[in-house]
Amino acid sequence: MKRSIYWLMAAAAGIVVANNYYNQPLLAEFALAFHASERQAGAVSVAAQTGYALGLLLFVPLGDKLERRSMLRTLLCIASLALVAVALSPTLNWLVAASFVTGLASVAPQLLTPFAAQLAGPQQRGEAVGIVMFGLLCGILVSRSISGTIAAHFGWRAVYWLAAAAMLVTAVVLSRMLPRGQPSYTGTYRDLMGSLWTLLREEPLVRQTSAIAALQFAAFSAFWATLAFHLHSMDARYGSEVAGLFGLVGVAGALASTSAGKLIDTRNPRLVVLASGAVFVAAFAILALTGSTIAGLVAGVIVLDLGLQSGHVANMARNMSIRSEASSRINTLYMAIRFAGGALGSSLGVWAWSVWQWPGVCAVGLLLGCGSLMLQTGRQSAGETAHRQRSSS
């Protein structure tokens, strides 16, 4: 399969996943626009991530049952309508509800990742996943810069009008360029959903990678859900544009995804995950010690994204090697648990900010990051051994 297909998937993944992150640099503006507290405005970010986690659970398993190209087109059209609803929001409650539906429909990247792994085969699986994940991660990071800059010049509603149009364009391009993805599951939807529990019960490696990813993404989300508040609290009163520009800083860390993907094809991915976890914890130590300055925040964001993204790609590649016929369902379990962790992390971050400000946010990040390291150094070995035994039998 030509690499250009993987890069097309990467671009689409980035454009779609951005829908869930446009709100993060805009939370302070939502609070002002709807005369709400910072904690109330933070519900927008929580709603988007909660909707995304539920969409992963309900829709992504269908990637093993339905033709993926048609499914992608349908989801993107629904996401476009939801983004229009966000742009038209008359109240904060409306905005929260529309953000939830946007997240629910913006799960196309999690159909594209196992699709790329399937097309690549075992020899290039890590590289293919790394390429698609690079696009997805750049979408997460650059989306904040885009939304912050557009909002500063044209208002926050313009961000969502443009995003709605981008969904329609992406739907057309993918429909014309992607190969057909033949389904591998012939049972009913009820049986399909029931098999999720069977996979989670039978595959300890999926349980471990999911728990590690959930803790790390919770810490990551706690940081991003409160960064706009932290910047606004500084003496210079930085606004949404500066908050969004921090997404560009994180692209340097996202570059690790392609390198990690190639490394995983030749090395033990478990070691990549372990090293990335240590880097992740170090990032929150940097943010705690130097986060009161812009330079300290920049350094912390680079290290934070480097650790998170390389570990995420390694975990994804490990999961895709388990059962190729159930790749969408395994990805569902992993990503749903991961984003449930993200929603929890956003809530914890906003709560910690409301009580202890920046030191509280950093404390939450450190505790969650250390928890993920404990999982890797403790029970992970048993899970890896069980997986190897299953693969060789």
- Whole-structure pTM value: 0.73
Residue 186 domain flag: no
Q: What is the pLDDT of residue 381?
A: 43
Phi (first) and psi of residue 381, to 5 degrees: -60, -40
Examine the pLDDT at 294 and tell me if it is beyond 60. Answer: yes
Residue 188 domain flag: no
Which residues, 6 or more positions from 303, have their beta carbon under 8 angstroms from its beta carbon? 253, 279, 282, 283, 286
d(CA 96, CA 46): 9
Confidence of residue 382 (pLDDT cuts 50, 70, 90): very low
Residue 18 domain flag: yes
Examine the pLDDT at 390 and tell me if it is beyond 60. Answer: no
Q: What is the mean pLDDT of residues 298-321?
A: 84
Query: In which domain, by residue range, is 113 found?
Result: 3-177+193-392
- 361 versus 262: which is more confidently predicted? 361
d(CA 26, CA 89): 14
Q: What is the mean pLDDT of residues 5-26?
A: 91
Residue 187 domain flag: no
- Report pLDDT digits (tens) over 174-194: 998 888 767 778 888 999 999
- CB-facing half-sphere around the CA of 341: CA atoms within 13 A: 24
- Say which CATH number the domain at 72 has: 1.20.1250.20
Residue 290 domain flag: yes
Residue 292 domain flag: yes
- Report pLDDT digits (tens) over 244-271: 677 677 676 666 666 666 666 666 677 7
Q: What is the pLDDT of residue 256?
A: 63
Examine the pLDDT at 324 and tell me if it is beyond 90. Answer: no
Residue 197 domain flag: yes
Examine the pLDDT at 392 and tell me if it is beyond 80. Answer: no
Examine the pLDDT at 383 and tell me if it is beyond 60. Answer: no
Q: What is the pLDDT of residue 104?
A: 94
Q: What is the pLDDT of residue 380?
A: 44
Residue 184 domain flag: no
Examine the pLDDT at 224 and tell me if it is beyond 80. Answer: yes
- Report pLDDT digits (tens) over 127-180: 777 788 888 878 887 887 888 889 889 999 999 999 999 999 999 999 988 887
Q: What is the pLDDT of residue 321?
A: 75
Examine the pLDDT at 97 and tell me if it is beyond 50. Answer: yes
Q: What is the pLDDT of residue 283?
A: 92
Q: Which of 136, 151, 205, 259 is nearest to 389 (CA)?
A: 205
Q: How many domains does the chain have?
A: 1
Q: Which amino acid is at 278?
A: A
d(CA 145, CA 241): 7
Q: What is the mean pLDDT of residues 232-243?
A: 74
Q: What is the pLDDT of residue 257?
A: 61
Q: Give me the residue label for tokens 């690549």.
A: 120
Confidence of residue 95 (pLDDT cuts 50, 70, 90): very high
- CB contact at 8 A, 120 and 1: yes
**How many CB atoms are closer than 10 A to CB 78?**
17
- CB contact at 8 A, 210 and 7: no
d(CA 386, CA 59): 29
d(CA 308, CA 133): 12
Q: Give me the residue label for tokens 């010049």.
A: 153
